[in-house]
Chain A
Amino acid sequence: MEILKTMNLLKYYGKDENEVRALDGVNLSIMKGSFTAIVGTSGSGKSTLLHMLGGLDRPTSGSVIVDGKEIFRLKDEELTIFRRRKIGFIFQNYNLVPVLNVYENIVLPIELDGNKVDESYVNDIIKTLGLEKKLNSLPNNLSGGQQQRVAIARALASKPAIILADEPTGNLDSKTSMDVMGLLKVTSAKFKQTIVMITHNEEISQLADCIIRIEDGKIVGGEQACTR
C-alpha cells in the first residue's frame, strides 16, 4: 500500500541566470512499512526533498500525497495539524526540548495534540531503545547517541503515518551511528513504521530496504523493486 507519493515535484529558486533548480521533476513512491534511504551528495536536493515531503516548505509546482491526502491543498493551519498528527521528524541535531526530561520529550507531540498517551506502547518503545534508566534525565546530561535515541522514541510514540529522518547520524561518530541506525531499523520493523531517511553515508544507507539516489534535483537510480 502506497503511503507517500510525489508527482512531478519542482522547486526553483531565483530567475533566469540565477535560477537554481533544487528539485527538477521528482516522482517518488514509498510503500507502507518500508525503510527507504534517499542518498545524494551535498546540493543534490535531498534536504529540499525532505522538507517538501514533510510539508515544511511549499514546492514551485507538483504535489505531495501523504496517506491519500494532497498536503499542499491544505491551508496553513490544517497543514500544521496534519503534520503534527501524521508525520514524525528526526533531525541531525536531535532538537529535544532542553527544559523537559526524556519522558516528557517523548510524549510531547501526543500531549500537544490533546490525546491520551498509550502507556504500554510508549513503554515498549522506551525498552527497545534502552532508555528505561534515563527517563528523568535532561537532554544535556545525555550523550549524542542517547539524545538521538530519545528523538527516535519521540517520533515513534505518536504513531505517525511516516517518519522523516534528516541525516540522523550526521553528528555521531561511526560506532554510535551504526548503533542508532540499527535501533532505528529494528524498531521500524517491530512497530511496522514507515521511514524515509536522507543521508550521504553509503554504509548507513545499506541498512534501508530501498535506496533511492538523487542528483541535481532528479532521481537517478536506485532499486525499482523494494521488498520487505
Chain B
Amino acid sequence: MGLVIHGWCKEERFHEENGNKRGIVMSDTYIIVVFTILLLVILVLYVFEISRTRRILNHISNMLLEAKNGTFIESCYDETKLSSVEGQMKEWIASSITTSNQLEKERDCIKTTISDISHQTKTPISNISIYTELLSEQELPEDSKEYVQRLREQSQKLNFLIEALVKSSRLETKVVSILPKEHLIEDILEQICDHCDQKAKSRGILITKEIEPCSLQVDAKWTSEALLNILDNAIKYADEATIIKVVGIKYPMFYRIDITNRGIEVKQEEVNAIFGRFFRSDNVRDEDGVGLGLYLAREIVTLQGGYIKVKPGTEPTFSVFIPC
C-alpha cells in the first residue's frame, strides 16, 4: 500500500515535472495553433471575398449579355439583394433601354406622320388634276391656254411625287408588307417590258431580252415596281434610237437581272448617291423626275434579301440580284 502511494506520489511528481515542461511546450503549441487558426480564418475570408467578387462580376456580365440581346427585364433584379455596383449597372442599363425605346417610338411617329400627310394630299391633288382637265377643254385665249398647259404639267409632276412618297412611306412604316410567293421571273420581266413598250417606241428605242427562266420567291407587285423604275430610267435617260438590253442570268444563290442602256452618263462618284432620296444628278436636270425611283427600287430589293449593283459610265448597267 505504501509502495502504491509512493508510486503514485512519484507519478505525481513526474507529472508535475513533465507538467512544467509540457506547460512550456504547451504554450508554444498554443501560439502555433492560434496563429494557424488566424491564418485559416484570413484565408477563408479571402476566398469568400474573391468568390463574392466573382459572383458580382458574373452577375454584371449576365446583365450586360441580356441587355445586348434585348432580353433584360428590370423587375428580375431585386434592388435589396444587389451590391451597390450591380445596382448602378442595373440602373444604367434600364435607362439606356428606355432611351432607345423612346427614340424608336419617335422614329415610328415621324414615319406615320409622313405616311398620313402623303395620304391626305392625294385627294386635293386629284381634284386639281380634274379641274385643270376641265379648264383645258374650255375655249380660252392663247395666254390662258399656255398657263393651263403648265398647270397640267405641274400637277402631273406633283401627282407623281405624292404617289412615290406614299409608296415609300408605306414600305418604311410596314403598312404594306412584302409577301413573297413563287413566280416565274421571265413572266415578270415580260410584263414590265410590255408596259414600257409605247414609251420606248416613241423614242425609237429597242428593248432586247435574254432571260434565263427561273422560278423565284418574290412579291410580284413590288418586284415589278422596282424593276419598272429601273427600266423606266433606262428609257428616259437613253439616247434616241439606241438599244436597251435586259438580261437575266441564274447564279447558284442569286438571280441576276441586268438592264443596260446607252445615254446619259452615270458618274463613278455618284454610284451610291443616286439611290438617295430625291437625289438627281446634275446631268439629268433637263429631264422629268423626282429622284425617288431608285430609292424605292433599292428598298424593295433589299427587303427581299437582295441588292443592286451599278456599273457606271455612258453605257451603264444596273444589276439587280434576288436570292433564289
Contact = CB atoms under 8 A, between A and B. Distances in A.
Interface in B272-315: 272-273, 276, 302, 305-307, 309-311
Interface of A: 118, 128, 130, 145, 175-176, 178-179, 182-183, 185-186, 189, 203, 206-207, 209-210, 223-228
A223 B272 CA distance: 9
A175 B311 contact: no
Contact of B273 (A176, A185, A207, A225): A225
Contacts of A128: 305
A209 B272 contact: yes
B302 A189 contact: yes
Interface residues of B, number: 21
A81 to B, nearest CB: 17
Q: Which of B271, B273, B309, B323 has the most CB of A within 10 A?
A: B309
B143 interface: no
B307 A206 contact: no
Nearest to A189: B302
B309 A179 contact: no
A130 B252 CA distance: 11
Contact of B272 (A182, A183, A185, A226): A226
A165 B155 CA distance: 50
Contacts of A182: 251, 253-254, 307, 321
B170 interface: no
What is the predominant secondary structure among interface residues of chain B facing chain A?
A: mixed
Contacts of B269: 223-225
Contacts of B268: 223
Given A175-B252, A179-B252, A206 B272 contact: no
A148 to B, nearest CB: 12
B300 to A, nearest CB: 14
Given A182-B307, A203-B311, A223-B269, A145 B276 contact: no
B316 to A, nearest CB: 11
Given A203-B311, A209-B272, A178 B302 contact: no
The list of the 6 closest CB pairs from A to B, nearest first, reads A179-B253, A182-B254, A179-B251, A182-B321, A206-B309, A179-B252
Contacts of B236: none
